[in-house]
Amino acid sequence: MAGGSLLMLLDDIASILDDVSVMTKTAASKTAGVLGDDLALNAQQVSGVVAKRELPVVWSVAKGSLVNKLILIPAALALNAFASWAVTPLLMLGGAYLCFEGVEKLVHLRHKKSEKSTANEAPAPVSASDEKDKIRGAVRTDFVLSAEIIVITLGVVAVKPFLTQALVLSSIGLIMTVGVYGLVAGIVKLDDLGLYLSQRGGARAAMGRGILVTAPWLMKLLSIAGTAAMFLVGGQILVHGIPAVHHWIEHAVAGMGGVAKALVPYLFNGLFGILAGAVVLLLLQPLMKLRKKAHA
């Protein structure tokens, strides 16, 4: 009898683990797009940091990301159980924040360019306080993207037993964190790999020189992609949360085909994200001015 009970228990455990494995694969495929945005955004955050501080900054943001998951996963499980209606409004707040941050980056970039045109000095290295600001900003951005990943995953397992929900959410959270920040660490150290290979002979030296030439352009591309991702992800969250806008976009692309049908919704999401970010920035400007005066 005891042996039969043990076999039944083992069978139940195997069944749960199999279910978790299948659900995790499904959730991973659904969150792959956000993973790409997360990668671009986080690679962008280390731009301007001196080489010896790149990995410590990535590690600090990765730790912050794990803390975000430790907050978000129990919160998502509780919301799904007791207040599922609150998930969409909270996600839309996060989307609005992403759009706002994207517009703020564009405004900051414009000021930076105008300052550069009036002064020919070399850019100052990132200070310790600036580095902390970068880390805090990256962790805040990660919080919103992590929330979207968790909510998408929750949609996949919402009707499953609580244990399956918790295991799948935890698995996705860990896989995404290790995957994103492992890749970011690799990307930011590409120049070091290029330098190492360039000092070797033969084909390795040519490969190293190629990496050294390509790495700065890759970082610039990721910086642009990271800002664009804020509008695409934030805009998509807001569009899906406003049925009238979502249906209008669906109707607008209904007659299209091929590549246009796939790409035009992203264009609409991005434009909506820019517009939403600009509106939020205008609304928050008085508060931002008061804050600057208080710190002055």
Q: What is the per-residue pLDDT for 71?
A: 92
Contact of 42 with 180, CB cutoff 8 Å:
yes
Spans of the chain below 50 pLDDT = 1-3, 9-11, 30, 117-119, 121-123
Q: What is the per-residue pLDDT for 91?
A: 78
Q: What is the per-residue pLDDT for 18?
A: 58
Other C-beta atoms within 10 Å of 186: how many? 12
What is the SS3 string spanning the chain?
Answer: CHHHHHHHHHHHHHHHHHHHHHHHHHHHHHCHHHHHHHHHHHHHHCCCCCHHHHHHHHHHHHHHHHHHHHHHHHHHHHHHHHCHHHHHHHHHHHHHHHHHHHHHHHHHHHHHHHHHHHCCCCCCCCCHHHHHHHHHHHHHHHHHHHHHHHHHHHHHHCCCCHHHHHHHHHHHHHHHHHHHHHHHHHHHCHHHHHHHHHCCCHHHHHHHHHHHHHHHHHHHHHHHHHHHHHHHHHHHHHHHHCHHHHHHHHHHHCCCCHHHHHHHHHHHHHHHHHHHHHHHHHHHHHHHHHHHHHHC
pLDDT digits (tens, 9 = 90+) for 229-253: 778 888 888 898 888 888 888 888 8
Q: What is the per-residue pLDDT for 67?
A: 92
Domain boundaries, the chain: 2-225
* Residue of 161, 179, 154 whose CA lies nearest to 24: 154
Q: What is the per-residue pLDDT for 177?
A: 85
Q: What is the per-residue pLDDT for 290?
A: 74
